[in-house]
Amino acid sequence: MNPSATLGAAELGHLAASEAQLGLWRGVITPKEQTLAAAERTARAARRAGSLPIEILDVSAGPLALAQKMMEHPPAALFLVGFEKFSVEDWGHLDSLRSNLERDQPVILFLTEGSAEHLSRLAPNLANWVGGSYARWDGSAEILSPEEKAARLDVLRGQFGKTDEEVIQAALEHRLEREPQMSEWLVLLGRGDLLEYG
């Protein structure tokens, strides 16, 4: 099964940063053996895009350990990896623990295709939190074609009512808004070096 949306590290990172207090759950489907790499790249992008702490949690110790970690964890966006080690029983157990997984910050599940199927079939209560917020991991998403780059820049200009020059100037003068889209804008303009100015 293919979710029609594909997202790369930059956009996922921006989403995690911009949805800091919304407690939204997302599922990202990656090829086998790439869940951790995808989570790490997304975490780097999210840290660049905002100030919310990002933590990658390995869930392979089992559902109960995960629930305990999540209950005790200070506010942070949590990126969960390692579901491919879950047994059928683990998925059912995780589903029964759902009340203990509630958080105010974003949670992203990095799943293989098989794990996504198990989530859907064996943990319907948790899957219900994710709803339709699934995307397929696109490891090459940062490499946009010139047309895609131009189209995205047009959307940003329209959305914020600013020119590229205004955004660069604001970054240079340390008064650029701390918004994920502003970081994305600078990166698209090839001025990622200005991110630290923001």
* Residues contacting residue 137 through CB under 8 Å, at least 6 positions apart: 6, 7, 8, 28, 29, 30, 31, 34, 38, 110
Distance, in Å, from the CA atom of 112 to the CA atom of 188, rounded to the nearest integer, reads: 29
Q: Count Cβ neighbours within 10 Å for each residue of 37-69 and write b for 16 or more, e otherwise.
A: bbbbbbbebbbbbbebbbebbbbeebbeebbeb
Kindly tell me which residue out of 33, 145, 146, 158 binds other proteins, with binding defined by CB under 8 A.
158
Q: Quick one: DSSP state of residue 137?
A: E
Q: Does 57 bind other proteins (CB under 8 A)?
A: no
Kindly tell me which residue out of 76, 84, 149, 160 binds other proteins, with binding defined by CB under 8 A.
160
Kindly tell me which residue out of 74, 161, 190, 196 binds other proteins, with binding defined by CB under 8 A.
161
Q: Does 21 bind other proteins (CB under 8 A)?
A: yes
Q: Does 87 bind other proteins (CB under 8 A)?
A: no
Burial class (CB in 10 A: 0-12, 13-18, 19+), 72: exposed
Kindly tell me which residue out of 32, 85, 150, 159 binds other proteins, with binding defined by CB under 8 A.
159
Kindly tell me which residue out of 86, 110, 134, 185 binds other proteins, with binding defined by CB under 8 A.
134
Q: Does 110 bind other proteins (CB under 8 A)?
A: no
Kindly tell me which residue out of 7, 9, 24, 43 binds other proteins, with binding defined by CB under 8 A.
24
DSSP, residue by residue, 52-75: S-EEEEE-TT-HHHHHHHHHHPPS
Q: Does 72 bind other proteins (CB under 8 A)?
A: no
Residue 54 vs 119, nearer CB to other proteins: 119
Footprint of other proteins on this chain (CB under 8 A)? 1-5, 19, 21-25, 27, 64, 92-93, 95-100, 102, 116-121, 124-125, 127-134, 155, 158-163, 165-166, 169-170, 177, 179
